[in-house]
Amino acid sequence: MIVKVFNVGDIVELKKQHPCGSKLWKILRTGADFRIECQGCKHSLMIPRPKFEKSVKKILGDTAK
């Protein structure tokens, strides 16, 4: 099993797109729940860790780099 490490500030691509059309989300908070922010419209939401981990397609990296 591959363990994915998620860090605050990472940009991830989710399997389904947001209604605004963007699939890219920035991680704002990690823990039992994740707070993520849409990179298209800046909408943020809280999502439980298991649901978030299932919906991640790929990790694109940190915005600070």
Collapsing DSSP states into helix, strand and coil, what is residue 27? strand
Q: Could you tell me if residue 2 is inside a domain?
A: no
Distance (Å, rounded) from C-alpha 48 to C-alpha 50? 6
- pLDDT-derived band of residue 1, with 50, 70 and 90 as boundaries? low
Q: Could you tell me if residue 5 is inside a domain?
A: no
Domain with 37 in it:
10-62
* Number of alpha carbons in the 13 Å side-chain half-sphere of residue 29: 10
Q: Could you tell me if residue 55 is inside a domain?
A: yes
Q: Could you tell me if residue 37 is inside a domain?
A: yes
- Dump pLDDT digits (tens) for 6-47: 999 999 999 999 999 999 999 999 999 999 999 999 999 999
Q: Could you tell me if residue 20 is inside a domain?
A: yes
- pTM of the full predicted structure? 0.86
Q: Could you tell me if residue 18 is inside a domain?
A: yes
Number of structural domains in the chain: 1
Calculate the CA 44 to chain-centre distance: 10
Q: Could you tell me if residue 4 is inside a domain?
A: no
Residue pair 41/18 in contact by the 8 Å Cβ criterion: yes
Q: Which two tokens stand for residue 33?
A: 């729940």
